[in-house]
Amino acid sequence: MNKILLVEDDHNLGIMICDLLELNGYEVSLLRMPDKTIKNLLEDKFDLVLMDKLLSGMDGTDICAEIRKTDTISHTPILMMSALNGAKEICIEAGATNFIAKPFEIKDLFTIVKDTINKGKVLND
């Protein structure tokens, strides 16, 4: 079972995404405090970080860049999401493995989550 760290500070959206992913066979840890992302990744193994770009008091791209600079977790696949125009390029430049624009169709989310996890496995093998 693939394990996902979902970094989302929007209460309702976080619960909805978490529930949908769990119903589709993923183990999900929902993290509402983005400043704890690195700590969580260092303490547990995740197959994917699914993270919003705009978080309370932080920009997800800053967290993404920090993950990429931290040796033991630098190869963790990161899927970022945002509704902002031009966010895809910014997120990819910060080190995101993949990106999905909000709002998204649930089936598209499942496809890109699976693809991003698989891409991470290929890069880490």
Other CB atoms closer than 10 Å to residue 5's CB: what's the count? 21
Measured distance CA(7)–CA(33) in Å, rounded: 7
Domain ranges of the chain: 3-120
Whole-model pTM above 0.85? yes
Closest alpha carbon to 110 in 73, 89, 79: 79
The DSSP element (H or E) to which 69 belongs, if any, is: helix 60-69
- Averaged over 91-110, what is the pLDDT? 96
Measured distance CA(28)–CA(48) in Å, rounded: 10
Determine the pLDDT at residue 56: 86
Q: What is the CATH number of domain 3-120?
A: 3.40.50.2300
Tokens of 68: 């990429």
Determine the pLDDT at residue 100: 97
pLDDT tens figures, 21-60: 999 999 999 999 999 999 999 999 999 999 999 998 899 9
Determine the pLDDT at residue 125: 61
Residue with tokens 């619960």: 15
